[in-house]
Structure 1
Amino acid sequence: MNKLERIATFCGQCNCGCPELWIDADATEEQRVVITDDFGQRIQMSLAQLHALVSDVKDGALDALLATTPAS
């Protein structure tokens, strides 16, 4: 059985099933991080992959996309 620990909720201003970040203590190291969306989908990755993703975002990898996409 999966033991998920909620780390963060993105948005959280509604009851629409906002995307969430979880840690699955029972998963393999390669699948320990779980991100769920409001459509019932999920992705799993390692902590190292999450670290690389966060580093890329902090370094501006998505700045151009966000500058041209209106916030909802």
Structure 2
Amino acid sequence: MTDHDPLAAGPTAGLQHVATFCGQCSCGCPELHLDPDAGDERRVVITDDFGQRIQMSLAQLAVIVDDARNGVLDGLLADAR
């Protein structure tokens, strides 16, 4: 990694933590962050326990949250409970 690589300092360096999903274990649960230095289209950062990142806009996150509130994911999650 180079000196100007944002991941060189760690996958969440410089990010504002918003939420941890699960948090019941020590497996490196997915986390939601805001990147104050990113452009609007990449402001939201979701990290997972495999070191992967998803970046999206706040508008895209709003669609996911609205869909979840409206039950779009209920069928998918029914078997997991």
Q: TM-score of the superposition, structure 2-length normalised? A: 0.81
Larger relative contact order (CA 8 Å, sep ≥ 6):
1
- Percent of aligned positions with the same letter in both sequences? 64
Q: TM-score of the superposition, structure 1-length normalised? A: 0.90
List gaps (5 residues or longer) in structure 1: none
Corresponding residue pairs, total: 70
Higher strand proportion, which one?
1
* 1:17 and 2:28 aligned: yes
Query: Could you say what the CA RMSD is over the residues aligned between the two structures, in angstroms?
Result: 1.2
List gaps (5 residues or longer) in structure 2: 1-5, 7-12
* 1:64 and 2:75 aligned: yes
Divergent runs of 4+, >6 A: none
Structure 1 equivalent of residue 3 of structure 2: none
Larger radius of gyration: 2
